């Protein structure tokens, strides 16, 4: 096992990996539930772990931490996730 010296600064992961998104996001995912099959791929692939599943297994995006990367929209097999421009 490799020992890390205690004085080396290490990033500490937090909810959403990089913390709250702030105001810089340009696009955000909007889920069209009429097309959603509850396959959960977006939930598994979200790079920030910001997609939760409701009790009925429909996904819900936590916009506080979503970075707008669009991975969820890319992996959705039914094109249920649309990346829309943020309204500031
Ligand atoms: S846009 Fe990126 S960060 Fe936001 S929910 Fe989709 S995969 Fe997660
Ligand atoms: S990947 Fe698409 S179809 Fe699957 S749960 Fe997410 S929004 Fe629904």
Are 42 and 82 spatial neighbours (Cβ–Cβ below 8 Å)? Answer: no
Q: Is 71 in the pocket of ligand 1 (CB under 6 A)?
A: yes
Q: What does the pLDDT read at residue 1?
A: 62
Task: Look at residue 6 and tell me if it is in a domain.
Answer: no
- As a whole number of angstroms, the distance between CA 40 and CA 11 comes to 29
pLDDT tens figures, 37-76: 999 999 999 998 899 999 999 999 999 889 999 999 999 9
pTM for the whole structure: 0.82
Q: Which residue has the tokens 């702030």?
A: 22
Q: Count other C-beta atoms under 10 Å from residue 47's C-beta.
A: 13
Pocket test for ligand 1, best of 15, 70, 79, 84 (most atoms within 8 A of CB): 70
Q: How many domains does the chain have?
A: 1
Q: Is 74 in the pocket of ligand 2 (CB under 6 A)?
A: no
Task: Return phi, psi of residue 61, to 5°.
Answer: -90, 130
Are 23 and 88 spatial neighbours (Cβ–Cβ below 8 Å)? Answer: yes
Task: Look at residue 44 and tell me if it is in a domain.
Answer: yes
Task: Look at residue 10 and tell me if it is in a domain.
Answer: no
Which residues lie across from 61 on neighbouring strands?
Answer: 51
Range of the domain at 56: 27-85
The ligand whose atoms approach the alpha carbon of 42 most closely is 2
Task: Look at residue 38 and tell me if it is in a domain.
Answer: yes
pLDDT tens figures, 5-30: 566 555 555 555 557 887 889 999 99
Q: Is 70 in the pocket of ligand 1 (CB under 6 A)?
A: yes
Task: Look at residue 62 and tell me if it is in a domain.
Answer: yes
């Amino acid at each position: 096992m490799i020992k890390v010296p205690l004085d080396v600064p290490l990033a500490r992961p937090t909810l959403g990996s990089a913390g709250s998104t702030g105001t810089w996001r340009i696009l955000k995912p909007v889920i069209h539930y009429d097309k959603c099959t509850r396959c959960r791929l977006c939930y598994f692939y979200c790079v920030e772990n910001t997609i939760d599943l409701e009790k009925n297994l429909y996904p819900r995006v936590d916009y506080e931490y979503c970075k707008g990367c669009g991975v969820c929209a890319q992996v959705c097999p039914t094109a249920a996730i649309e990346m829309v421009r943020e309204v500031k």
